[in-house]
Structure 1
Amino acid sequence: MLAIGTAFLVPSGPAEYLHLNIVGTAQIEPPDMRLLIPISSIKDGVFHDQTCVLDVGEHPFITKPSFVFYRHIQQRSATKISMCLENGDFIAKDSASEALIAKIIAGIPASNFTAPWVLNFFQN
């Protein structure tokens, strides 16, 4: 079972591009689905959502200032995520702390970039 806070790296773009994703919901309808919340590093001169900026060390994988990429929250099957973790497509990392999860979740309604369909999961 994929619990809230489960964290792993997902390839995005060239092979060396791996982004931290954190499971943000225990379960959504249909029951096998989870919301994945992506984290990205802040790059000089590139716009980023400032709703939830993460400092170095807030998660062991975060080694430079980063932000929660609310615009790119995705819905994915827990079964598929588990298969990708088992076969090495995704790389497991330490789970996010309760404090980090709370900080990230608090930013969902605050961000101007959170999609309406994502907000619906947290309003019910």
Structure 2
Amino acid sequence: MSDLIDYDKTCILKIGEHPFIKHESYILYRKSAILGVTSISRSIDDGSFSTHQPFNDVTFGKCYSDTYDSIDDLMSFLES
């Protein structure tokens, strides 16, 4: 990551937090989407998505908790 690039600083992932993370990285939340199981399965099958080892609970919690401050925020987003 560079000070020359404007990036989302909400959730920074460090090397070692997941085997896929090879350098300090960030999540681009503004590009996130809620997809159904059928859509995700189709994208895996056609090669559009690639799969990796799941995040451990701590790293997943870090990414999720930085997205929504509470379950109420999540529900408001889903209902909008």
Q: One fold, TM greater than 0.5? A: yes
**Structure with larger Rg:** 2
Identity of aligned residues (%): 28
Distance 2:62 2:68 in 1: 12
Instruction: Determine whether 1:57 maps to 2:13.
Output: no
Distance 2:22 2:13 in 1: 10
1:98 partner letter: D
Gaps in structure 2 of 5+ consecutive residues: none
Higher helix content, 1 or 2: 2
Higher strand content, 1 or 2: 1
Matching of residues 55-94 of structure 1 within 5 Å? 55-94=14-53
**Alignment TM-score, normalising by the size of structure 2:** 0.76
Given that residues 108 and 119 in structure 1 are in contact (C-alpha distance below 8 angstroms), is that contact kept between their aligned partners in structure 2?
no
* Over 3 Å off, 4+ runs: none
Cα deviation per residue 1:39-65 (whole Å; 9 max; x = unaligned)? xxx345101111211101211111011
Cα deviation per residue 1:90-124 (whole Å; 9 max; x = unaligned)? 111111111111001111136xxxxxx856258xx
Matching of residues 1-12 of structure 1 within 5 Å? none
Matching of residues 108-119 of structure 1 within 5 Å? 108-109=67-68
In structure 1, the residue matched to 2:62 is 103
Given that residues 10 and 66 in structure 2 are in contact (C-alpha distance below 8 angstroms), is that contact kept between their aligned partners in structure 1?
yes
Gaps in structure 1 of 5+ consecutive residues: 1-41, 111-116
In structure 2, the residue matched to 1:120 is 76
